[in-house]
Amino acid sequence: MADSIAASSPDTAPIVAEDNPAAPPPPGRQEVRVSLLPVASLLVLVLILGLWQFLPTALHVPKYIIPQLSDLVREMGRMWQQENLLMHSVSTATMACLGFALGALLGAVFGYLLGLSPLWEKVLSPYILALQIAPKVAFAPLFIMWFGYNAWPKLIVTILVVFFPIMVNILQAMRTVDRDLINLARAYNMSGRQIFWKIRFPASIPSLMAGLRIGATLAVIGVTVGELMGGEIGLGFLITYGEGQANTAMVFDAIFVLTLIGIAMYWVVAAIETRALHYIPKAHH
């Protein structure tokens, strides 16, 4: 018995199955279905666009309730030429990115600081919970009263909205770092600073990324609410302006561009996440 086991030297031990993620699925129905997936999605899009174009007129829905697709396209062109759509879009995108970056930075810094001082975390945790629950966008009018109709209110709302999910995610990650890993580093005589940079911080990256993904989508909401409240720039302003003119197409178009900005931000964060978390096997992703 000993001989038969001795024959399989540990060096020839097989590498685990996860090592080979590129194993092709068995050809057949499954494969066909997977390759048809994008086509199906595209078909749904065409169907919806088609319905949007023809259903309103067919059902005699007035244009100021739901404009036709062609109206939306025409209005988009008009907004580009006459309403300075580019400037408004750039303003909103800049504010969203800036608010997102600042909110993420602050959220991360507070998350790590509180994560490193359990005492402060315990002291502050009821207030953190309360602030986390409070609807941050509702603060917008307050900030307008304080700072006036400028960039600050929307920026602060965005920072607030982005701050919490990121801070809470990092706190959670810091709390659940494997004690044995920390002990291992301690046994190697590592300083608190080394333990942070070599264990706690990298261990928190998956949670940080998840927080950033949530934050990226919330940032657009924060800026939009800020712009809806007042001021004369941004897609949120175009929405209120369009509303005042009973220009439904303008409102729809502004929402569309806002969504695009949100998708772009989300996509950038997701791409960074994929690169940062390359060490996590895909199957578990």
Partner 1 sequence: MSLAVPTLQLDGVTRRFPASNGKGVFTAIEKLSFSVRHGEFVSVVGPSGCGKSTILNLVAGLDHPSEGDVRLSGEIVTGPSSHVGFMLQKDLLLPWRTILHNVEFGLEARNFTPTMRRERAFRELRRCRLTEFADRYPYQLSGGQRQRAALARTLAIEPELVLLDEPFSALDAQTKLVLQRSFAQTIATSGVTTLLITHDLSEAVTMSDRILVMSERPGRIVEEIDVGLPDRENPMARQAMPRAHEIMAHLFNALHLDERIEA
Q: Do residues 33 and 21 touch, judged by C-beta distance below 8 A?
A: no
Smallest separation (angstroms) from partner 1 to the CB of 279: 5
The helix/strand/coil state of 207 is: helix
Smallest separation (angstroms) from partner 1 to the CB of 120: 24
Q: What's the rounded Cα separation, in Å, for the pair 102 and 104?
A: 5
For residue 115, how many C-alpha atoms fall within 13 Å in the half-sphere facing its CB?
24
Smallest separation (angstroms) from partner 1 to the CB of 3: 9
Q: Do residues 234 and 223 touch, judged by C-beta distance below 8 A?
A: yes
Judged by CB under 8 A, does residue 22 bind partner 1?
Answer: no
Choice between 15 and 58, CB closer to partner 1: 15
Judged by CB under 8 A, does residue 279 bind partner 1?
Answer: yes
Judged by CB under 8 A, does residue 193 bind partner 1?
Answer: no
CB atoms within 10 A of CB 65: 8
Question: x/- site string to partner 1, residues 149 to 178, per CB under 8 A?
Answer: -----------------------------x
Buried b (16+ CB within 10 A) or exposed e, 256-273: ebbeebbeebbeebeeeb
Smallest separation (angstroms) from partner 1 to the CB of 53: 49
Smallest separation (angstroms) from partner 1 to the CB of 18: 6
Residue choice 66, 190, 210, 255 for contact with partner 1 (CB under 8 A): 190
Judged by CB under 8 A, does residue 19 bind partner 1?
Answer: yes
* Residues whose CB is less than 8 angstroms from the CB of residue 159 and which lie 6 or more positions away in sequence, other chains included: 99, 102, 103, 106, 222
Choice between 18 and 31, CB closer to partner 1: 18
Judged by CB under 8 A, does residue 26 bind partner 1?
Answer: no
The burial class, CB within 10 Å (0-12 / 13-18 / 19+), for 94 is middle
Judged by CB under 8 A, does residue 79 bind partner 1?
Answer: no
Smallest separation (angstroms) from partner 1 to the CB of 178: 8
Judged by CB under 8 A, does residue 63 bind partner 1?
Answer: no
Choice between 64 and 188, CB closer to partner 1: 188
